[in-house]
Every structure is written in structure tokens, then in C-alpha cells.
């Protein structure tokens, strides 16, 4: 899930992803859980591979004319900055089961930038809201 903001409504672009704790056999008949570590992939390796794949797809989309750079932003400079920047992958232990995954996803899939219960006042073109 792509998020573009944080608690304080400032730009904070990040993804929420669920990675399984194992994989199906090639014949698709059996699920094999991770046996030698807590994670399916090492977190640092996952970060580098994800960044590489993501940027490759961005480049393909840009080359195909499917991705337009904002005015004044040169795609080559953006690509260079994204490649040089370390991408943070935060991994946490598996959920307790399928219902916890559904509950987690449910909190994010239809989330808006700010919910009504956080709004304190709206006056004179200004909005005051709470944040953590």
C-alpha cells in the first residue's frame, strides 16, 4: 500500500508490504515455511533488490511515456538521487494469523489523510488538528 503522508501531514512517501514467511514448491502443491531464519529474505538484501526493481520499472515507464516528470524536474537527476539514497526496509515479526492481516490491511486500504476526529477547528481558511 502506498502512503504519501505521515502523522503531521508532511510528505512521507512509503509502502506497506506483506511478505510471506515461506514459499510454495515449484509444483505449487506444498507451502514451505522458512526453516533457517526468521525472514524469507535478509532485510538488507530485500531493500537493495526492491530499490533496483522499482527504479527499473520507473525507468521503463518513463521511456514508454507513461511517467511524466513534474515541471522543472529532470528524470535523470531524480533517478540518480533515488539510486544514491539508501532505502529503508523495516521488517517486523509475522502476524498472529489471517484475521490479523485482514485487520491490518483494513486500517489502511481506505484511509484518508486526516480523519474528522483529529480536526479541532476550521476557521478563517485554517484547519487545526491533533497529531501524535
Per-residue pLDDT band at 28 (split at 50, 70, 90):
very high
Distance CA 37, CA 45 (A): 14
Residues 61-83: pLDDT tens digits?
999 999 888 889 899 998 999 88
Distance CA 3, CA 113 (A): 9
Nearest to 74 by CA among 89, 61, 62, 88: 62
Over residues 52-60, mean pLDDT:
94
Residues 78-109: pLDDT tens digits?
899 988 888 888 887 767 777 888 887 777 77
Is residue 36 pLDDT above 70, yes or no?
A: no
What are the structural domain ranges in the chain? 1-19+91-132, 22-89
Q: How far is CA 22 from CA 37, 79, 118, in A?
A: 10, 32, 39
Distance CA 105, CA 94 (A): 14
For residues 47 and 87, the answer to whether their CB atoms sit within 8 Å is yes
Is residue 110 pLDDT above 80, yes or no?
A: no
Longest distance between any two alpha carbons in the chain, whole Å: 64
pLDDT of residue 120: 92
SS3 87: coil
For residues 121 and 127, the answer to whether their CB atoms sit within 8 Å is yes
Is residue 55 pLDDT above 90, yes or no?
A: yes
Amino acid at each position: 500500500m502506498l502512503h504519501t503522508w505521515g502523522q503531521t501531514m508532511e510528505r512521507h512517501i512509503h509502502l506497506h508490504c506483506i511478505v510471506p514467511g515461506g514459499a510454495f514448491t515449484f509444483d505449487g502443491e506444498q507451502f514451505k515455511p522458512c526453516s533457517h531464519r526468521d525472514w524469507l529474505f535478509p532485510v538488507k538484501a530485500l531493500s537493495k533488490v526492491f530499490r533496483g526493481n522499482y527504479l527499473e520499472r520507473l525507468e521503463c515507464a518513463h521511456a514508454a511515456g507513461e511517467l511524466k516528470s513534474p515541471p522543472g524536474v529532470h528524470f535523470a537527476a531524480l533517478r540518480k538521487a533515488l539510486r544514491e539514497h539508501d532505502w529503508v526496509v523495516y521488517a517486523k515479526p509475522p502476524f498472529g494469523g489471517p484475521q490479523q492481516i485482514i485487520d491490518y490491511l483494513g486500517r489502511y486500504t481506505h484511509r484518508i489523510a486526516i480523519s474528522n476526529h483529529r480536526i479541532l477547528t476550521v476557521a478563517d481558511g485554517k484547519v487545526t488538528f491533533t497529531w501524535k
